Structure 1
Amino acid sequence: MTLALDRTRTRRLALPSVLLSRIGVNAALALAAVYTLMPLLWLVMSATKDIDDLFGTNGFAPGRRFELAANLKRLFAASDGIYLRWLVNTVVYAVVGAAVAAFLCVLAGYAFDKLAVPYKEKLFGFVLLGVLVPATATALPLYLVAAEIGLVNTFWGAFLPGLVFPFGVYLGRVFSAASVPGEVLEAVRVDGAGEWRAFWSVAFPMLRPGFVTIFLFQLTHIWNSFFLPLVMLSDQRLFPVNLGLYTWNSTAFSQGHPEDYLLAITGSLIAVVPLVITFVVLQRHWKAGMTAGALK
């Protein structure tokens, strides 16, 4: 009888703590959602305003005349359509660069995991050291190297650094260990397939969720990259969209062109759209890739 009463008291005491923990978690998630969505809401509302409304109305209210269409027209017509050039440059830098980087990372991770490479653990240690170095710390050395070989202010000077992704190599090894059974590779090799055929025909389809995961990581990194293009490029025709919007934002204040500030706001809204579409389209592969990594 006493034992039953103790259990009842324990359950009554545990119930409020469970409710409080759920309330706390939900409150934290709600705050995180508000913190994430408020800048985007401000961006959407600001893109619907003209100059007078932008500085004279509430930041989270739409424009009184809803100037979104007019702002988009001005954005794409500014400087002979330079924004479209910046957007195309960013797509090439980010999408093509992230795809190539993701493939190289998956290939390297597979090699570190499945192949008998001499000193591979020591080499992998150097890769992990690369993870610890922030990208901003390598921008100036990359600029000096590019200056020596004549790649400053060229497409390749901004494109090639995006192909190096040490954290992606680490993820590639994790996904290879979790998704590619060694017995399957042995069976393929017994059947006479070479290492490249075994990777391309057998291992790579199993690693596709990992490839998409690494691709999305690197796509976001290159798309948001700013400091490296800033020191590497001076020709506006080669600018990514981030650097182009920065120049508009700078001229809005330094040269007294407030219309450039509105162009920068509208351009920032358009620049977010491709990333959102990419994550929505690849969401299924993204979830599968994250689950595979978690299992490892």
Structure 2
Amino acid sequence: MTTTAPAAPTAAATGRARTATRRRSPARRRSTPLTIAMLAALAYFLLPLFWLAVASTKSTQDLFGTFGLWFSRSPQLLSNIRATLTHDHGVFLHWMLNTVLYAVVSAVGAALLAAAAGYGFAKFRFRGDRAGFNLVLGAIMVPTTALAIPTYLLFAKVGLVNTPWAVILPSLVSPFGLYLMRVYAQDAVPDSLIEAARIDGAGEAQIFFRIALRLLAPGLVTVVLFTLVTTWNNYFLPLIMLSDPRLYPITVGLSSWASQTAGGGSGANSETVVLVVTGSMLSIVPLVVAFLLLQRYWQSGLATGSVKQ
């Protein structure tokens, strides 16, 4: 019995197969208006950072006498950093340490409180739970500057004004963090896992700290980053709460240096402009490092909970 070998595909058949494959595969679409909008947004966010990096390498004369978006012929970044760190007996380093203390304690504390409250709203049913959560949603819409003066009057009554607690305690309350953790805990912590732990005899606190808190880690990192940036960049609250320059965060400290140049004079005041610019550049380095180190946790924390399973 003679067998016939299968015929080789012709060139036309191969071309039709490739055309069908291209039709089935999703087409890569390009939009010129969206590309322009993306480039405009990229320039809006990156140009100020680029200007800050360039300006921190210039002297006072070059800062006002050369093109702002390019380096001068004699860059002096290291000398500017040295002058910033040693100015006024090294007060800049003290301000930086204050900012790290305020931001880290506030971020970690706010994340833990938001995780506990969000877990409670997500996994427990009690009288007034919907009303309480709606109240949290309403608190998100209230600007923090509107609460600064009432908070100052309250802290003045209990004697906490001009102390680190005047900055840390208000920053521990994060309505947005509570909302985010509630949405995240709804799907990240299975009810079956909680019931299994209860059957094994675990208490509610033990379930939260040993089981739920580990599952909520990406959401916790997201809240930590948001609160860290908010507290690091906070200006108005420390401005009205603190009167001792040794307690200033970096925002209020640099503002006090900038106020020395408001008259536009020469001499020491004019040299302070370079210190403010260089100090501003140094102040954003820890935030950039924190985002780079925690970026993958932050992205997963934002994505999980946004898709309903």
Normalised TM-score (structure 1):
0.91
Task: Show CA shifts across 1:183-226 (max 9, x none).
Answer: 11001101100001111111111100000011111111111111
Corresponding residue to 1:123 among 121, 128, 132: 132
**2:265 equivalent to 1:249:** no
Task: Show CA shifts across 1:25-54 (max 9, x none).
Answer: 222111111111100111011000111101
Partner of 2:231: 222
Could you tell me how far apart the structure 1 residues matched to 2:188 and 2:105 are?
25
Partner of 1:62: 71
Question: Contact between 2:222 and 2:301, CA under 8 Å: does it hold in 1?
Answer: yes
Q: Which runs of 5+ in 1 are unaligned?
A: 1-10
Question: Contact between 2:121 and 2:182, CA under 8 Å: does it hold in 1?
Answer: yes
Partner of 1:278: 290
Normalised TM-score (structure 2):
0.88
Farther off after superposition, 79-88 or 251-260: 251-260
Local SS of the residue matching 1:74 = helix
Local SS of the residue matching 1:152 = coil
**2:264 equivalent to 1:260:** no
Corresponding residue to 1:45 among 43, 51, 54: 54
Partner of 1:92: 101
Corresponding residue to 1:233 among 242, 260, 277: 242
Could you tell me how far apart the structure 2 residues matched to 1:293 and 1:51 are?
50
Local SS of the residue matching 2:253 = helix
- Counting matched residue pairs gives 280
Question: Which residue identity does 1:104 align to in structure 2?
Answer: L
**How far did residue 118 of structure 1 move?**
2.9
Question: Which residue identity does 1:202 align to in structure 2?
Answer: I
Local SS of the residue matching 1:64 = coil
Question: Which residue identity does 1:136 align to in structure 2?
Answer: T
Question: Contact between 2:194 and 2:207, CA under 8 Å: does it hold in 1?
Answer: yes
Over the matched positions of the two proteins, sequence identity in percent amounts to 44
Could you tell me how far apart the structure 1 residues matched to 2:263 and 2:106 are?
34
Local SS of the residue matching 1:295 = coil
Partner of 2:208: 199
Could you tell me how far apart the structure 2 residues matched to 1:110 and 1:85 are?
37
Could you tell me how far apart the structure 1 residues matched to 2:56 and 2:114 are?
38
Q: Which has the larger radius of gyration?
A: 2
**How far did residue 153 of structure 1 move?**
1.1
Question: Contact between 1:226 and 1:243, CA under 8 Å: does it hold in 2?
Answer: yes
Question: Which residue identity does 1:165 align to in structure 2?
Answer: S
Question: Contact between 1:178 and 1:295, CA under 8 Å: does it hold in 2?
Answer: no
Question: Contact between 2:105 and 2:168, CA under 8 Å: does it hold in 1?
Answer: no
Partner of 1:136: 145
Local SS of the residue matching 1:294 = coil
Could you tell me how far apart the structure 2 residues matched to 1:65 and 1:178 are?
57
Q: Which runs of 5+ in 2 are unaligned?
A: 1-22
Could you tell me how far apart the structure 2 residues matched to 1:63 and 1:249 are?
23
Partner of 2:13: none
RMSD of the TM alignment (CA)? 1.5
**How far did residue 255 of structure 1 move?**
7.2
Question: Contact between 1:49 and 1:64, CA under 8 Å: does it hold in 2?
Answer: no
Q: Which has the higher helix share?
A: 1
Farther off after superposition, 118-127 or 244-253: 118-127
Question: Which residue identity does 1:275 align to in structure 2?
Answer: L
Question: Contact between 2:102 and 2:167, CA under 8 Å: does it hold in 1?
Answer: yes
Runs of 4+ aligned residues of structure 1 deviating over 3 Å after TM superposition are none
Local SS of the residue matching 2:81 = helix
